Amino acid sequence: MLVFYLGALLPLLPYAFGQHAQETLEAWSLNIPSDFDFNAKRLIEFSPEDPTVWMTEAEKLEAKRQGKFFFDITDNPFIGLSKKEQFTYPKRPNATDAVHNTLNLIQTDNLETTLAHFSSYTTRYYNSFTGKASSEWLADKVDEYVDVYASKSVKPLVEVTHLQHPWLQTSVIVRIAPAGADLTDPTTIVAAHCDSINGENPFYPAPGADDDGSGTVTLLEALRSILESGYIPVTPLEFHFYAGEEGGLLGSQAVVALYELAQRQVKGMIQFDTLAWVAAGTKEALNVMLGTDPALIEFQKKLIDEYVEIPYSESEYPTWLHRGPSSDHASWAKAGYQACHSTEARWEDMNKNNVHTTHDTSDVSDEFSFEHLYHYVRLAIAFGIELSSY
């Protein structure tokens, strides 16, 4: 059912499904701004090799339902025009004391508690009122962590930005920088996206526990642990929570455009997206997605060998998808910054049957594992501290 037909169908629902169904759908429809035009044309890029196409918001949703990856470049069509500095990475981890001190502070129970709340919103669709509320809760949670866990010496070094967009949901950026640091200093970025989507219809519930509530709470616990440890980076360290990933990497593109304009340097960026699933009958591993920056991939593997308690696996997206932008790291890569990407498992073993549906919850199956998620917190901490320690 196409989205723009929903209003016309609402009066017929009592006859088809009963009065309760009509009332439920009407309530869901009120979650989307009345002036949001699903017939509005947007400029879409499926891959660098393919020509851009104009599509309506409804057509974008159909592409998403079919599992296609794409950039919505309407607002930021010129990313990647400037040359970026390319960094080399240490041959072996060097900040082991600081990393291990922080790893000892991880509280796995926090993952379950924060995800229970974060996935309780009807949907975190980027242009919905509950999507807006979820990002406000996220920003409040970050502020709470800074207030409670950062020491008096660290607090002045932390800056939290609530980045407003043309849509309702906000992106949240947390910056920890040493005294005297400049915005142009090489910055390490640890990221996830905070929105969700129901692939059938954005009016429908989308708890998004795995995609990407799992990445969001991983970052929250990594941030909390780093704040509690008292770690002060040598070069800036940032945690990014992007709005609008499911709409075509909208939030990350907006951030990248701002960083390009300010001539910001990025030492390395890692995207955590869909992390909590261990399919029955598979060997648990922390998956490294290929097709990103080769040097950063190798450094990521070294960090897993040193700091993570399970081995890594390697995977790539299927041929028909691999050229497209699978998650927010692609916005940084498109701009010429070095970025990498981690997922819960090899592509063939991921939680594809539940994501983008009402069933993307933490209790849908025993295959959803907070113990598995714990290992990604370790990697997020290691990546953030190691790269910002020099």
Domains of the chain, by residue range, sit at: 3-72, 96-388
DSSP string, 28-40: HHTTS-TT--TT-
**Dihedral sign (CA 372, 373, 375, 376):** positive
Tell me what the mean pLDDT of segment 212-241 comes to. Answer: 99
Q: Cis omega before residue 273 (within 30°)?
A: no
Other Cβ atoms less than 10 A from the Cβ of 341: the count is 27
Q: What is the pLDDT of residue 329?
A: 98
- pLDDT, residue 9, reads 41
Q: What pLDDT band is residue 36 in, cutting at 50, 70 and 90?
A: confident
- Of residues 65 and 150, which shows the higher confidence score? 150
Is residue 273 within 8 A of residue 212, CB to CB? The reply is yes
| 42: region left, alpha or beta (phi > 0 left; psi from -120 to 50 alpha) | beta
* pLDDT tens figures, 48-64: 889 999 999 999 999 99
Q: Confidence class of residue 149 from pLDDT cuts 50, 70 and 90?
A: very high
- The 10s digit of each residue's pLDDT in 249-291 is 999 999 999 999 999 999 999 999 999 999 999 999 999 999 9
Summarised one tens digit per residue, pLDDT across range 104-141 is: 999 999 999 999 999 999 999 999 999 999 999 999 99
State the pLDDT at residue 30.
Answer: 81
Instruction: Give 43-78 as a DSSP string.
Output: EEES-TTSPPEEEEHHHHHHHHHTT---EE-SS-TT
On the CB side of 218, how many CA atoms lie within 13 Å of its CA?
Answer: 39
**Among 362, 106, 64, CA closest to 213:** 362
Give the percent of the chain with pLDDT over 70: 92
Report which of 326, 242, 244, 290 is spatially closest to residue 69, judged by C-alpha positions: 326
| pLDDT in the model for residue 8 | 41
CATH architecture of residue range(s) 96-388: 3-Layer(aba) Sandwich (3.40)
Q: Does residue 20 have a pLDDT over 70?
A: no
pLDDT at 6 over 60: no
pTM: 0.93
Nearest to 74 by CA among 176, 167, 188, 170: 167
